[in-house]
Amino acid sequence: MEEVTNEDRRREIRTLVERIEAHPERDMKEERERLRVLRKIVEGDQDAG
């Protein structure tokens, strides 16, 4: 199993933001929650580093 890096998380954040912006008419509740979680993880790692 490969380790998930912050770069992987940032890439997923970009993908989620693009998807949400491309379809603002959709609910995307799960995507928005995932985005919040990823941002907290990345911010937490930056504070520790």
Per-residue pLDDT tens over the stretch 6-47: 999 999 999 999 999 999 999 999 999 999 999 999 999 777
pLDDT for 16 equals: 98
Which is it for the CA torsion 5, 7, 9, 15, positive or negative?
A: negative
48 has pLDDT over 70: no
pTM attached to this predicted model: 0.84
